[in-house]
């Protein structure tokens, strides 16, 4: 780090020698100067929200303060310590504090950026501590960078460190929309002119809608489901400007309308998943605090995959008719994802919060941009809530876990302080509390949402009264704990929808327990899973019973999966959750209500979402059969309507060549012949390199693979490496479970018309 300190010293010396001219440097700075003479300041601190996007690990930003005397000579110059240089690709508040010396007249301060990339700056503040110990804010001009930037000149700011300033020809200064606010506020972007090439850009998913120019949609003669009372009426539905404009009989069509014949079809509101986590994939490596496999697959790699594939995950929810999702806690990058995918006509409505305010800190999450942060005191909890406020969270989440009786009293105070601070800022609070007594304490403290079932005891009269008196939301999340046991016990049993409609990468990772180097690790977990089955069955019985009690007592129940946790796949796990609710004793109407209007009530959005009513957002699904008679009708979608955009279900997300190939790998590892062959064309060809035909077509190949799967239950294909070139996917595969020793091969897959048409194997 010494080299960085010397670098900054060199930069300061160089800057002080330049006048207001163009210079060629690999760094630049912005600054303001204030007068502090006769102010009786003891200390001054500056702070700003900053993030850095760069492929170059040497790029960084820092805060600096230069204390000057009356002759404009530097008394002291301090910067962000080298160990804390700002390099992270997420918004965070950074602070720098200085003790004021005698003879001070002025303070210059600002932000310096070094290297290539993009540097984002917002919400710059400065405070001073007076001799009586009180802190007061010092007003500075254009602190939020809201004034228009012209010709690389920021109003009220100077580029440089010295009074003379300069113009760095390697950087552009731009005004951009603030990501810390949902208003029209601005932020500053300092952008290196030498554009970096992003070798791993975020996945882009282009959907195709029938009203490409925003035309109004008239659905004629469709069965409209009223999820509030369970009634169905045949009506016409006019959708315009993103909302249900008119719902009545015999609406007169106009030439500019797009017409859909709704005869013998059903219109149901878009569904809501009240509990997901976008910082988790549903795969084997997604919770290192539960099973630490980071030496086989780094958690940083898992996080990067999730960020890159956020669009893919959200579109898969939309494909299933889930038009609203609520992310119940994750890293601060949650807010960036919400902003990036905020188009309500193309993506599900996404409501988010930031890191869980927790009474327990997993060691694995003591990381930058952590999804879970422990508060040790009520004061720390309040600070964690305040840290999220500039990002406009939709609510606050608490992870309420008592690890010992000694901690229980302090933990309650932490929970109570968190809730009070959130409520003071008009934010609801969701609480993770799965034991009856802990859940009751959360309710007494003022919780608005319970994000899990009570799983240890039957709900009692005190709990029922606490929930009913304040209409607290109750989220059952019935399947998630059992999915953990199935996953690390090697007992995953994916549905047809899991194979075909979920992202296949997380699903594929669940079969990695068959990998040679992981078998010994999972042997003990498999034993634990076997031993836990009886107790888990008992827990599930309690949760089912408590769900019935909740319904009988008029609780607001919301369908919620906790998707992203190990084995609980994004989007497709919704089908498993509603089936479990059905088996617990709920009627189809109760489930449909929990999946629509009640989901909207979680964050008080029932006036704009959750039912098909005039004036509400046009989020809906057109079904081929009636879900009030058969819940499987929810899988039989013809169109998904999102904010007035109408998407044929198969035009929402298309399988890429890599996705197709991974799907057949998953079928192979599961020993599921239908899942394995589905991505192939009917007449696909198999070759031994270079051109020896060894098999052709599904019918000819099917029985051979059935025998292979039947005779080799431990069969596993590990993808050692993968290359994608256009319509070709080249996999280096390692096969185990067939012979005593593993063997390796290269498989070259060729894709046309969204099917695998040819595979060429290169063997030793």
Per-residue pLDDT tens digits for 613-630: 999 999 999 999 999 999
DSSP E strand stretches across 526-627:
556-557, 620-623
The pLDDT assigned to 693 comes to: 95
34: Cα separation from own chain's centroid: 41
The pLDDT assigned to 95 comes to: 96
23-35: b (≥16 Cβ within 10 Å) or e: bebbbbbbbbbbe
CA distance 729 to 751: 8
Q: What average pLDDT does the chain have?
A: 93
Q: Give 9's pLDDT tier (boundaries 50, 70, 90).
A: low
**DSSP character for 297?**
S
pLDDT at 197 over 90: no
Write out pLDDT tens, residues 66-93.
Answer: 999 999 899 999 999 999 999 999 899 9
Total residue count of the chain as it appears in this document: 764
Could you give the 3-state DSSP secondary structure of residue 440? Answer: helix
Whether 577 contacts 559, CB under 8 Å: yes
Which tokens hold the place of 236?
Answer: 């016409």
Please enumerate in sequence order all residues whose Cβ is within 8 A of that of 611, keeping only pairs 6 or more positions apart, or say none: 226, 227, 228, 269, 596, 597, 600
**DSSP character for 275?**
E
CA distance 590 to 558: 10
CA distance 549 to 376: 35
pTM of the model: 0.89
Could you give the 3-state DSSP secondary structure of residue 324? Answer: strand
Which tokens hold the place of 402?
Answer: 């008592």
Q: In the structure, how many helices (H) and strands (E) does the chain have?
A: 18, 37
Tokens 């059905």 sit on residue: 582
Please enumerate in sequence order all residues whose Cβ is within 8 A of that of 620, keeping only pairs 6 or more positions apart, or say none: 267, 268, 269, 270, 323, 612, 640, 641
Other CB atoms closer than 10 Å to residue 45's CB: what's the count? 17
pLDDT at 348 over 90: yes
| Least trusted range by pLDDT, from 30-34, 215-219, 569-573 | 30-34
Write out pLDDT tens, residues 514-531.
Answer: 887 888 888 888 888 888
Other CB atoms closer than 10 Å to residue 725's CB: what's the count? 9
CA atoms within 13 A of residue 216's CA, in its CB half-sphere? 18
State how beta strands 217-225 and 258-261 pair. parallel
The pLDDT assigned to 667 comes to: 98
CA distance 373 to 370: 7
Please enumerate in sequence order all residues whose Cβ is within 8 A of that of 19, keeping only pairs 6 or more positions apart, or say none: 164, 165, 166
Burial class (CB in 10 A: 0-12, 13-18, 19+), 526: middle
Whether 506 contacts 569, CB under 8 Å: yes
Angle at 170 between CA 169 and CA 175, to 5 degrees: 90
State how beta strands 186-192 and 171-177 pair. antiparallel
CA distance 90 to 110: 20
Which tokens hold the place of 704?
Answer: 């051979």
Q: Give 17's pLDDT tier (boundaries 50, 70, 90).
A: very low
Q: In order of start, what are the domains of the chain with their CATH numbers?
A: 2-192 (2.60.120), 271-609 (3.20.20.140), 657-763 (3.10.450.50)
CA distance 533 to 407: 30
CA distance 443 to 470: 9
For residue 483, the surrounding DSSP H or E stretch is helix 480-488
Write out pLDDT tens, residues 124-151.
Answer: 999 999 988 899 999 999 999 999 999 8
Please enumerate in sequence order all residues whose Cβ is within 8 A of that of 405, keeping only pairs 6 or more positions apart, or say none: none
CA atoms within 13 A of residue 210's CA, in its CB half-sphere? 18
Write out pLDDT tens, residues 234-261.
Answer: 999 999 999 999 999 999 999 999 999 9
Which tokens hold the place of 619?
Answer: 């989020």
Angle at 428 between CA 424 and CA 431, to 5 degrees: 115
pLDDT at 732 over 80: yes
**DSSP character for 296?**
T
Which tokens hold the place of 79?
Answer: 């910067």
CA distance 29 to 160: 5
Closest CA to 366 of 288, 431, 304: 288
CA-based end-to-end distance of the chain: 49
């Amino acid at each position: 780090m010494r080299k960085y300190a010397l670098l900054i010293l060199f930069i300061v010396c160089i800057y002080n020698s330049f006048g207001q001219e163009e210079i060629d440097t690999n760094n630049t700075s912005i600054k303001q100067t204030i007068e502090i003479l006769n102010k009786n300041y003891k200390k001054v601190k500056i702070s700003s929200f900053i993030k850095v996007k760069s492929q170059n690990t040497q790029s960084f930003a820092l805060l600096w303060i230069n204390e000057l005397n009356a002759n404009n000579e530097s008394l002291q110059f301090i910067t962000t310590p080298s160990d804390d240089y700002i390099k992270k690709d997420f918004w965070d508040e950074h602070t720098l504090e200085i003790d004021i010396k005698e003879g001070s007249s002025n303070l210059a301060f600002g932000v310096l950026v070094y290297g290539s990339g993009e540097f984002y700056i917002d919400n710059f503040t400065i405070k001073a501590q007076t001799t009586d110990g009180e802190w007061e804010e010092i007003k500075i001009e254009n602190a939020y960078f809201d004034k228009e930037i012209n010709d690389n000149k920021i109003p009220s700011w100077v580029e440089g460190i010295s009074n003379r300033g300069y113009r760095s020809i390697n950087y552009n200064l731009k005004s951009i929309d603030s990501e810390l606010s949902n208003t029209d506020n601005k932020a500053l972007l300092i952008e290196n002119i030498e554009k970096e090439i992003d070798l791993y850009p975020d996945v882009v998913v282009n959907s195709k809608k029938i009203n490409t120019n925003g035309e109004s949609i008239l659905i004629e003669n469709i069965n409209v489901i009223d999820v509030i009372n369970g009634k169905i009426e045949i009506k016409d539905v006019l959708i315009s400007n993103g909302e249900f404009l008119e719902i009545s009989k015999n609406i007169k069509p106009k030439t500019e309308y797009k017409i859909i014949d709704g005869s013998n079809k059903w219109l149901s509101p878009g569904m809501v998943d009240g509990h997901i986590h976008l910082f988790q994939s549903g795969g084997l490596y997604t919770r290192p605090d539960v099973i630490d496999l980071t030496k086989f697959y780094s958690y940083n790699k898992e996080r990067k995959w999730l960020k890159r594939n956020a669009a893919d995950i959200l579109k898969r929810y939309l494909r299933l008719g889930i038009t609203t999702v609520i992310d119940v806690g994750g890293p601060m990058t949650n807010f960036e994802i919400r902003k990036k995918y905020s188009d309500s006509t193309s993506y599900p409505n996404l409501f988010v919060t930031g890191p869980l305010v927790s009474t327990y800190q997993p060691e694995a999450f003591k990381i930058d941009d952590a999804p879970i942060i422990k508060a040790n005191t009520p004061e720390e909890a309040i600070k964690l809530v305040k840290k999220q406020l500039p990002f406009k969270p939709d609510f606050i989440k608490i992870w309420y876990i008592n690890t010992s009786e000694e901690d229980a009293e302090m933990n309650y105070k932490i929970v109570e302080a968190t809730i009070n601070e959130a409520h003071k800022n008009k934010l609801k609070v969701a609480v993770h509390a799965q034991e009856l007594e802990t859940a009751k304490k959360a309710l007494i403290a003022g919780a608005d949402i319970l994000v899990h079932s009570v799983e240890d005891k039957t709900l009692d009269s005190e709990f029922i009264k606490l929930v009913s008196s304040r209409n607290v939301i109750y989220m059952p999340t019935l399947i998630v704990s059992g999915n953990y046991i199935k996953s690390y016990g090697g007992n995953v049993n994916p549905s047809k929808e899991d194979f075909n409609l979920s992202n296949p990468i997380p699903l594929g990772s669940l079969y990695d327990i068959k990998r040679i180097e992981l078998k010994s690790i999972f042997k003990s977990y498999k034993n634990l899973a076997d031993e836990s089955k009886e107790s888990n069955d008992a827990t599930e019985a309690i949760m089912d019973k408590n769900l019935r009690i909740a319904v009988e007592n008029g609780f607001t129940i919301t369908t919620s999966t906790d998707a992203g946790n190990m084995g609980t796949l994004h989007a497709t796990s919704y089908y498993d959750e509603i089936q479990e609710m059905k088996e617990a004793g709920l009627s189809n109407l109760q489930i449909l209500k929990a999946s629509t209007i009640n989901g909207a009530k979680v964050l008080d959005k029932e006036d704009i979402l959750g039912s098909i009513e005039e004036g509400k957002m046009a989020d809906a699904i057109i079904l081929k059969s009636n879900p009030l008679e058969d819940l499987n009708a929810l899988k039989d979608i013809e169109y998904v309507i999102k904010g007035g955009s109408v998407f044929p279900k198969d035009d929402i997300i298309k399988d890429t060549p890599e996705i197709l190939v991974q799907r057949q790998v998953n079928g192979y590892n599961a020993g599921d012949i239908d899942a394995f062959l589905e991505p192939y064309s009917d007449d696909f060809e198999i070759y031994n390199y270079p051109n020896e035909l060894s098999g052709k077509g599904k019918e000819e190949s099917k029985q051979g693979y059935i025998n292979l799967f039947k005779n080799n239950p431990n069969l596993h294909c590990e993808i050692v490496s993968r290359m994608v070139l256009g319509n070709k996917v080249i996999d280096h595969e390692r096969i185990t479970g067939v012979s005593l020793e593993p063997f390796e091969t290269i498989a070259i897959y060729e894709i046309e018309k969204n099917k695998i048409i040819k595979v060429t194997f290169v063997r030793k």
